[in-house]
Amino acid sequence: MLQAFSRIVLKLLGWRTFDVAGRPPRAVLIEYPHTSNWDAIYGLLTSFAIGAGVSWMAKDAAFRWPFGGLLKRLGGIPVNRRERTNSVAQMIGEFTTRERFVLGITPEGTRSLTPGWKSGFYRIATGAGVPVLLSTIDYARKEAGIIACLELSGDPERDLARIAEFYAGRRGRRPGLASPIRWLPDAQFDRKSPPPC
């Protein structure tokens, strides 16, 4: 019912959705570019419309009553950002306990312009041994969905260059806030390759 509703809403708004064939049941999904609060709304609608079942992390404070239960049912996973906890290890742990788990992450980490991407999504994917799904909400084309399923090589620079090729020409709601596709200077990596898609 939610899938049909989401498809109808997106169609009425003039959006087209797409997905990759044979999408794996366990993966890290990245969404780029992330430049607006509207991305969350279109992202949830798209996830429901294509049946991706994407989970996402948010500050634990957002999960308080009265909306906490609803946010969890929509895929939210509370993360304590007040203390220095290892959210990468926590998310890798989530993969070990679930047969189906698609974790959505915005590699920029914010809607504001940043000098590059954080490495958390890459470290989670390699640590959990899962592929990366590349998703987008392209406001210029009015289309949203998953562009590709990417098998990581274990070479972060090479993999990021491949990711950049897939995202070439994709535009966010506020294009000037799209961060360049390059690693932040303090990015850290674990050298381990996950299995193919």
pLDDT in tens, 74-91: 888 888 765 666 888 889
Could you give the dihedral angle defined by the CA atoms of residues 144, 114, 59 and 187, in that order, rounded to the nearest 10 degrees?
Answer: 100
CB atoms within 10 A of CB 132: 25
pLDDT value at 169 more than 60: yes
Q: Does residue 64 fall inside a structural domain?
A: yes
Give CA–CA dist 92/153, Å, rounded. 18
What rounded mean pLDDT belongs to the chain?
A: 90
**Local confidence band at 197 (pLDDT 50, 70, 90 cut-offs):** low
pLDDT in tens, 100-153: 999 999 999 888 899 999 999 999 999 999 999 999 999 999 999 999 999 999
Q: Does residue 75 fall inside a structural domain?
A: yes
Q: Does residue 190 fall inside a structural domain?
A: no
Give CA–CA dist 197/195, Å, rounded. 7
Pairing state between β 143-150 and 26-31: unpaired
- Per the structure, the count of domains in the chain is 1
Q: Does residue 193 fall inside a structural domain?
A: no
Q: Is 149 left (phi over 0), alpha (psi -120 to 50) or beta?
A: beta
Give CA–CA dist 147/2, Å, rounded. 22
**Local confidence band at 60 (pLDDT 50, 70, 90 cut-offs):** confident
Expressed as residue numbers, the domain containing 90 is: 2-176
Q: Does residue 186 fall inside a structural domain?
A: no
CA 166, chain centre distance (Å): 15
